[in-house]
């Protein structure tokens, strides 16, 4: 570290009792600049220049809790790869093929007020742009959401849309991370949905149990979630990617959610250098079932600009890893589906026979209802990572 970069040493991360910290005030200690990052990690001048170029496009935001999970002596630490920018984020073209800013087709299904209505029976509301941590593999890197001071007003309009569309049987509150909103705001959102009879259940998509579990030490939040769940079923999909994210504090957060009667499901992303081995997947899925979290989806990394070329695992290699991992997992741990979240709908990646990849379309866009449940087959190449990379067989 250069003399000009010298800073006063912070409190060692392993000495902090995160259980004693207020969740909302601790956010002020997030590492969101190179100045703060170098208090915890030694960075070369070249690394700093590269990181700053990345941050000019995609900001960094890491809670001290999540930073404490990183082994500072391991440059290949999986948690480090999920949280800290690298030069690879500057790569926008390479052997993995084309990239896009909107792989899921969000733009064409945007109904205003943060509503994305892609499938007839499901509606998603982007409630906030803020996350407690900005994941380096995020597929919504380009999206700017709604300022928090307008969230409730916009959500009321979103709830009105949902009430008027009786084909919607379930809805997802997403972001950003809606659990980073004040508890009073979350309560008002849920209250707006409580009496919409045709909505059978609500999901709140959040990574806070993983990256910021102290949020669930807030008794008032747990009460809000419990009270709503007693009126209308509430699910919490979360996002563990590596077994190292399963800590005593994350276990405690999950247990408090489960004690409120709420089911927690996990949607991991298959990421090169993070969890792309049989051992990593077995440890992750087994660890999740051990703490009462249901393995639900394993997403193929999307072809997102500044993400694809360093995180996407080629399908030919990936499908073999998943198949072998499932052979080592028990019944509940192997229930997850290997999924491609494509613009045309969700596609399950079932397996391969030689160079033929077999897929099953789970959901389809409303203009093509006949595509749901169809079988798709495509010819694999060594680097194919997405549907468009395959030569589909009619």
DSSP string, 87-154: GGGG---STT---BS-TT-TGGGEEETTEEEEETTEEEEEEES--SS--TT-TTTT-----GGGHHHH
Q: What confidence tier does 98 reach under pLDDT thresholds 50, 70, 90?
A: low
Enumerate the H helices of the chain as residue ranges.
23-26, 34-37, 45-55, 64-67, 78-83, 151-164, 183-193, 208-211, 219-231, 248-259, 278-290, 308-311, 315-327
| Same domain flag for 37 and 76 | yes
Q: What is the pLDDT of residue 90?
A: 87
Query: Of the residues 36, 58, 90, which one is the last residue of a structural domain?
Result: 90
For β-strands 356-361 and 345-353, DSSP reports them as antiparallel
How many angstroms separate the Cα of 35 from the Cα of each of 8, 48, 83?
A: 11, 10, 16
| Same domain flag for 311 and 190 | yes
- Is residue 164 one of the residues assigned to a domain? yes
Give the number of other CB atoms < 10 A from CB of residue 16: 16
On whether the CB atoms of residues 50 and 87 are closer than 8 A, the answer is: yes
| Same domain flag for 282 and 317 | yes
For residue 5, pLDDT over 50 is answered with no
| Same domain flag for 203 and 309 | yes
Higher-confidence residue of 61 and 109: namely 61
CATH number at residue 212: 3.20.20.70
Q: What is the pLDDT of residue 151?
A: 58
| Same domain flag for 38 and 115 | no
For residue 292, pLDDT over 50 is answered with yes
125 strand-pairing partners: 115, 173
| Same domain flag for 295 and 238 | yes
Residue range 122-143: average pLDDT? Answer: 85
| Same domain flag for 128 and 61 | no
On whether the CB atoms of residues 360 and 346 are closer than 8 A, the answer is: no
- Is residue 252 one of the residues assigned to a domain? yes
- Is residue 344 one of the residues assigned to a domain? no
- Is residue 369 one of the residues assigned to a domain? no
| Same domain flag for 134 and 180 | yes
| Token reading at 12 | 């060692």
Residue range 132-152: average pLDDT? Answer: 67
- Is residue 364 one of the residues assigned to a domain? no
- Is residue 61 one of the residues assigned to a domain? yes
Query: Of the residues 90, 121, 141, which one is the last residue of a structural domain?
Result: 90
Residue range 285-303: average pLDDT? Answer: 97
User: Distance from CA of residue 307 to its chain's centroid?
Assistant: 14
Q: What is the DSSP letter of 317?
A: H
| Same domain flag for 197 and 322 | yes
By three-state DSSP, how is residue 379 classified? strand
| Same domain flag for 319 and 258 | yes
- The model carries a pTM of 0.92
For residue 114, pLDDT over 90 is answered with no
Query: Of the residues 56, 90, 124, which one is the last residue of a structural domain?
Result: 90
CA distance 236 to 190: 13
Domain residues for the domain of 65 are: 3-90
On whether the CB atoms of residues 83 and 135 are closer than 8 A, the answer is: yes
CA distance 386 to 363: 17
| Same domain flag for 36 and 113 | no
| Same domain flag for 187 and 322 | yes
Q: What is the pLDDT of residue 3?
A: 42
Per the structure, the count of domains in the chain is 2
Q: What is the pLDDT of residue 281?
A: 98
CA distance 69 to 64: 9
What is the tens place of the pLDDT at every residue in 321-365? Answer: 999 999 999 999 999 999 999 989 999 999 999 999 999 999 888
Q: What is the pLDDT of residue 53?
A: 92
Q: What is the pLDDT of residue 368?
A: 86
The rounded mean pLDDT for the chain is 90
What is the tens place of the pLDDT at every residue in 36-86? Answer: 999 999 888 888 999 999 998 888 999 999 999 999 999 899 999 999 999
- Is residue 239 one of the residues assigned to a domain? yes
- Is residue 54 one of the residues assigned to a domain? yes
């Amino acid at each position: 570290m250069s003399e000009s970069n010298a800073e006063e040493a912070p409190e060692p991360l392993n000495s902090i009792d995160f259980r004693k910290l207020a969740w909302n005030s601790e956010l002020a200690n997030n590492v969101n600049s190179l100045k703060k990052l170098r208090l915890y990690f030694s960075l070369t001048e070249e690394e700093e220049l590269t990181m700053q170029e990345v941050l000019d496009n995609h900001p960094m935001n890491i809670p001290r809790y999540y930073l404490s999970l990183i082994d500072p002596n391991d440059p290949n630490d999986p948690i480090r790869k999920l949280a800290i920018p690298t030069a690879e984020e500057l790569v926008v073209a390479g052997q993995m093929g084309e990239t896009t800013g909107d792989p899921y087709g969000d733009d064409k299904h945007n109904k205003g007020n943060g509503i994305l209505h892609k499938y007839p029976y499901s509606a998603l509301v982007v409630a906030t742009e803020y996350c407690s941590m900005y994941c380096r593999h995020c597929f919504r890197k380009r999206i700017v959401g709604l300022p928090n001071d307008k969230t409730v007003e916009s959500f009321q309009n979103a709830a009105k849309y949902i009430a008027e569309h009786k084909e919607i049987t379930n809805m997802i509150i997403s972001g950003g991370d809606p659990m980073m909103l004040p508890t009073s705001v979350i309560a008002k959102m849920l209250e707006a949905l409580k009496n919409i009879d045709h909505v059978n259940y609500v999901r709140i998509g959040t990574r806070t149990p993983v990256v910021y579990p102290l949020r669930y030490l807030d008794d008032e939040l747990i009460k809000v979630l419990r009270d709503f769940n007693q009126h209308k079923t509430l699910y919490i999909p979360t996002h563990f990617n590596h077994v190292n994210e399963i800590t005593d504090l994350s276990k405690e957060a999950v247990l408090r959610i489960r004690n409120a009667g709420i089911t927690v499901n996990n949607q991991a992303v298959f990421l090169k250098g993070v969890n792309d081995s049989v051992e990593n997947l077995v440890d992750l899925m087994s660890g999740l079932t051990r703490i009462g979290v249901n393995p639900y989806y394993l997403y193929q990394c999307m072809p997102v600009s500044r993400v694809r070329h360093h995180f996407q695992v080629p399908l030919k290699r990936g499908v073999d890893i998943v198949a072998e991992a499932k052979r080592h997992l028990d019944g509940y741990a192997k229930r997850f589906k290997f999924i491609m979240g494509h613009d045309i709908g969700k596609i399950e990646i079932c397996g391969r026979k030689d160079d033929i990849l077999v897929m099953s379309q789970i959901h389809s866009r409303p203009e093509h209802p006949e595509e749901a449940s169809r079988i798709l087959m495509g010819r694999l190449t060594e680097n194919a990572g997405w549907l468009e990379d395959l030569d589909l067989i009619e």
